[in-house]
Chain A
Amino acid sequence: AQKITQTQPGMFVQEKEAVTLDCTYDTSDPSYGLFWYKQPSSGEMIFLIYQGSYDQQNATEGRYSLNFQKARKSANLVISASQLGDSAMYFCAMRVLAGSSYDKVIFGPGTSLSVIP
């Protein structure tokens, strides 16, 4: 079965420090996309970073980087130089082809990140 696992329900990090949020995934499909989304308490789901299953290099977007280890089926998010505004829920997600003509996004349970001043 296709599944996303996030084993850290809550994390704390000191402002300006780096933090790693863990994500493992399970799929037998060779083609998939891995995404991280940020969800503040207001509810909107904000796209952060993408890694394709065929990408050889780890993705980076500003302060966000994705540590992609395909053999271990892990896609950890690294946030550098944490800011108070980074406090939010973070979801690891996998976009997969679910049939001949559609796709869906499978989400993990999320990790709540709190940045401490």
Chain B
Amino acid sequence: DAGVTQSPTHLIKTRGQHVTLRCSPISGHKSVSWYQQVLGQGPQFIFQYYEKEERGRGNFPDRFSARQFPNYSSELNVNALLLGDSALYLCASSGTAGQFNQPQHFGDGTRLSIL
């Protein structure tokens, strides 16, 4: 069975540009969460989506937005890119939202570099 897939693998952008990152969850999983991992740190929670609705949001500015599609795949959008947005962006899927007793399964991430 395919795991969580993310695209693209790597991306280079310049300050002020916009970027869209994509994620396909494990088949049967309906919840997708996004995390930002800055070099040398643990991942930080950005969003959780379930059944196409935003269910929770971390402490990130409004430049960050996301959506989930009917097939449960998801996009993360970041506007007006800053140098500090350079990071590994991880997508995680789980069967449902609002539970603590199952692992979230992560994709390989998209490595975003801002010049």
- Interface, chain A (partner B; CB < 8 A): 4, 31-33, 35, 37, 42-47, 50, 52-53, 91, 93, 95-110
Q: In the complex, which residues of chain B have a beta carbon less than 8 angstroms from the beta carbon of A50?
A: 101-103
B58 CB to closest chain A CB (Å) equals 7
Complex Cα distance, B58 from A31, in Å, reads: 20
Structural contact, A105 and B92, CB atoms closer than 8 A: yes
Of the residues A31, A35, A102, contact of B48 by C-beta under 8 Å? A102
Given contacts A91-B42, A102-B48, A105-B104, contact A43 B99 (CB under 8 A): no
Given contacts A43-B111, A50-B103, contact A104 B58 (CB under 8 A): yes
- The DSSP consensus for interface residues of chain A is strand
Q: How large is the interface on B (under 10, 10 to 19, 20 to 34, 35 or more residues)?
A: 20 to 34
Complex Cα distance, B45 from A47, in Å, reads: 17
**Mask of B81-115 contacts with A, CB within 8 angstroms, 1/0:** 00000001010100001111111111111010000
Structural contact, B101 and A52, CB atoms closer than 8 A: yes
Given contacts A33-B101, A33-B102, contact A104 B56 (CB under 8 A): yes
Taking A43-B111, A97-B100 as given, write out 20 further A-B residue pairs in contact, using a Cβ cutoff of 8 Å, ordered by the A residue number: A4-B42, A33-B100, A43-B108, A43-B109, A44-B109, A45-B90, A47-B105, A52-B100, A93-B42, A95-B101, A96-B100, A97-B99, A101-B56, A102-B50, A103-B98, A104-B45, A106-B45, A107-B44, A109-B41, A110-B42
